[in-house]
Amino acid sequence: MTDAQHYDVIVVGTGAGGGTIAHRLAPTGKRILLLERGDYLPRERDNWDSTAVFVKGKYRAPEFWFDKHGNQFPPEVNYYVGGNTKFYGAALFRMRPEDFGELRHHDAISPAWPLSYEELEPYYTQAEHLYLVHGLHGEDATEGPASAQYAYPPVQHEPRIQQLGHDLEKQGLHPFRLPIGVNLTPGRSVTSVVATVGDRGGEGSTAEFGADIVVVACGAVNSAVLLLRSANDRHPRGLANSSDVVGRNYMRHNNLALMAVSKEPNDTRFQKTLAVHDWYLGSDDWEFPLGGIQMLGKSDSEQIHGEAPRWAGAACPDMPFEVLAHHAVDFWLCGEDLPTPDNRVTLDRDGGIHLALDVDCKAHDLDNLYVVDTSFFPSIGAVNPSLTAIANALRVGDRIADRLR
Ligand SMILES: Cc1cc2nc3c(=O)[nH]c(=O)nc-3n(C[C@H](O)[C@H](O)[C@H](O)COP(=O)(O)OP(=O)(O)OC[C@H]3O[C@@H](n4cnc5c(N)ncnc54)[C@H](O)[C@@H]3O)c2cc1C
């Protein structure tokens, strides 16, 4: 390997974790290489076309994974510069302070983090400002204390969602405006921090790079795959895996999309502005955490037709999909799923990287390997994970920058 192929830091993957840590490390002036398997996402009409995105899955990773029964399925992942943040809903919540402690669920315990909410809090604030999150701290009664307000005001509800908010309040609930990382400033571009060295040599060709520090941030499944695939004589079970936990304890939330069909038409264009956390930690008739409810992006007829033809058709046989979509109000229900060792990523089938890492996300087995994507979560809470991954990447970035001094 020549000196030109040696870097101070290599970051593998450019999503919420990898892109953010690269942004944090850039001012150190060190030689940093980002390795990203995907290309830049082209800006084209199909970006806004439901048939292309949802029905044809044009931007999905062109591969199949296997479930525990050996059945193949197309994974909902996207390999592009920026990772899944190029496609996500940008709902950027902090986990609740309770999520960092042990939480008793109906059938088991959600384990505590080695890090407290208070320790991550300054990084949550930085993450919210960096990702242009629009919201208002104080509206959601379940959130922890924030050392600074969001830099941008909440996105206002459109009339139908405002009406829904009033209706929920009449029921005694406490809907709030969903914190969302969108750029609403005309003429200003979204923060972009990435530069990639793509492998232009074609499939099967290899290139060799070295670094003093390697940060793996390929996403929860692919980081595990990369470490397992990197087994060698000194690390026969895979890198950082002397404890055999790499790939185990995979979590993905218990998610459900719920489409209500309202008597009134729903002309909303940007629907993802409201959330309800009244039952996040339990309810009057259920002592265990129940998770959150938030609005989904507005469904349209192509999406309903493509994703739910049978039940949608059966529920409203006389209603064309266009009419159904015009009256649809769409919700995302999100509950915590618990880490179990058997829910795992293996190389030829379907994980997280728990306990293989120390509190600063450095591998126990290796002094120069860090993992900073969503795979480090000891437990996942019931809010969308990206802001926590981003805040953590900023935190770990500071630790690595200290090492590089
Ligand atoms: C449709 C959709 C909506 C979502 N909505 C939300 C939301 O509203 N709020 C929220 O918080 N989260 C949301 N998520 C989840 C969120 O996108 C992910 O949790 C987040 O992007 C994970 O960040 P990451 O850094 O772990 O991985 P990713 O963002 O997946 O980034 C991993 C990167 O590594 C690259 N890579 C993978 N393998 C390799 C390899 N071997 N070599 C080199 N590069 C590699 C990938 O191409 C990718 O760029 C959504 C996800 C989807 C798919």
Q: Supply the CATH number for residue 224's domain.
A: 3.50.50.60
- Looking at the structure of the chain, the number of domains it has is 2
Whether 388 is in a domain gets the answer yes
217 lines ligand 1 (CB under 6 A): yes
14 lines ligand 1 (CB under 6 A): yes
pTM reported for the whole predicted model: 0.94
pLDDT-based confidence at 197, cuts 50/70/90? Answer: very low
Whether 186 is in a domain gets the answer no
How high is the pLDDT of residue 194? 40
How high is the pLDDT of residue 333? 97
Helices (H) and strands (E) in the chain, counts: 9, 15
Same domain, 36 and 13: yes
209 lines ligand 1 (CB under 6 A): no
Same domain, 298 and 276: yes
pLDDT-based confidence at 302, cuts 50/70/90? Answer: confident
Which residue's CA is the nearest one to ligand 1's atom 21?
84
Mean pLDDT computed over 52-72:
92
How high is the pLDDT of residue 195? 39
Percent of the chain with pLDDT over 70: 90
Whether 317 is in a domain gets the answer yes
Which residue's CA is the nearest one to ligand 1's atom 36?
218
Return all residues near 77 (Cβ < 8 A) that are at least 6 apart. Answer: 60, 61, 84, 219, 221, 222
Cβ pair 335, 233 in contact under 8 A: no
Mean pLDDT computed over 126-135:
98
Same domain, 99 and 199: yes
Q: Does the pLDDT of residue 306 top 90, yes or no?
A: no
| 18 alpha carbon – ligand 1 mean position (Å) | 10
- Domain interval for residue 49: 3-131+191-252+340-404
Q: Pick the atom of ligand 1 nearest to 18's CA.
A: 25
Quick: pLDDT tens for 2-14: 877 899 999 999 9
Same domain, 96 and 66: yes
Whether 147 is in a domain gets the answer no
Mean pLDDT computed over 250-265:
93
| 398 alpha carbon – ligand 1 mean position (Å) | 22
Q: Which stretch of 29-43, 240-254, 296-310, 349-363 has the lowest confidence by average pLDDT? A: 349-363
Q: How far from 54 is each of 88, 243, 300, 302, CA to CA, in Å?
A: 13, 39, 11, 8
Same domain, 36 and 170: no
Whether 110 is in a domain gets the answer yes
Q: Which stretch of 133-137, 309-313, 341-345 has the lowest confidence by average pLDDT? A: 309-313
Same domain, 268 and 248: no
| 289 alpha carbon – ligand 1 mean position (Å) | 26
Same domain, 107 and 172: no
Whether 95 is in a domain gets the answer yes
Cβ pair 312, 324 in contact under 8 A: yes
**Domain termination site, one of 277, 304, 335:** 335
Question: pLDDT: is 348 or 301 the higher one?
Answer: 301
Q: Pick the atom of ligand 1 nearest to 272's CA.
A: 8
| 320 alpha carbon – ligand 1 mean position (Å) | 35
How high is the pLDDT of residue 355? 57
Q: Pick the atom of ligand 1 nearest to 17's CA.
A: 25
Using DSSP's 3-state secondary structure scheme, residue 263 falls into coil
Question: pLDDT: is 114 or 312 the higher one?
Answer: 114
Same domain, 25 and 126: yes
Quick: pLDDT tens for 268-290: 999 999 999 999 999 999 999 99
40, 78, 386, best to mutate for ligand 1 pocket (most atoms within 8 Å of CB):
386
Percent of the chain with pLDDT over 90: 79
**Domain termination site, one of 279, 306, 335:** 335
Mean pLDDT of the chain: 90
87 lines ligand 1 (CB under 6 A): yes
* Burial 124-161, CB ≥16 within 10 A → b, else e: bbbbbebbbbbbebeebebbbeeeeebebebbebbebb
Return all residues near 87 (Cβ < 8 A) that are at least 6 apart. Answer: 59, 78
Whether 162 is in a domain gets the answer yes
Q: Does the pLDDT of residue 133 top 80, yes or no?
A: yes
pLDDT-based confidence at 189, cuts 50/70/90? Answer: very low
Same domain, 45 and 161: no
Which residue's CA is the nearest one to ligand 1's atom 46?
79
SS3 content of the chain, % helix, strand, coil (to 5): 30, 15, 55
Same domain, 204 and 261: no
- Of 290, 297, 54, whose CA–CA distance to 161 is shortest? 297
17 lines ligand 1 (CB under 6 A): yes
Cβ pair 12, 226 in contact under 8 A: yes
The H or E element spanning position 134 is strand 133-134
Same domain, 60 and 89: yes
Mean pLDDT computed over 20-48:
96
Same domain, 226 and 283: no
89 lines ligand 1 (CB under 6 A): yes
Query: What stretches of 182-308 show up as alpha helix (H) in DSSP?
Result: 220-229, 301-307
Whether 142 is in a domain gets the answer no
76 lines ligand 1 (CB under 6 A): yes
How high is the pLDDT of residue 317? 65
| 223 alpha carbon – ligand 1 mean position (Å) | 11
**Domain termination site, one of 301, 335, 369:** 335
Which residue's CA is the nearest one to ligand 1's atom 38?
218
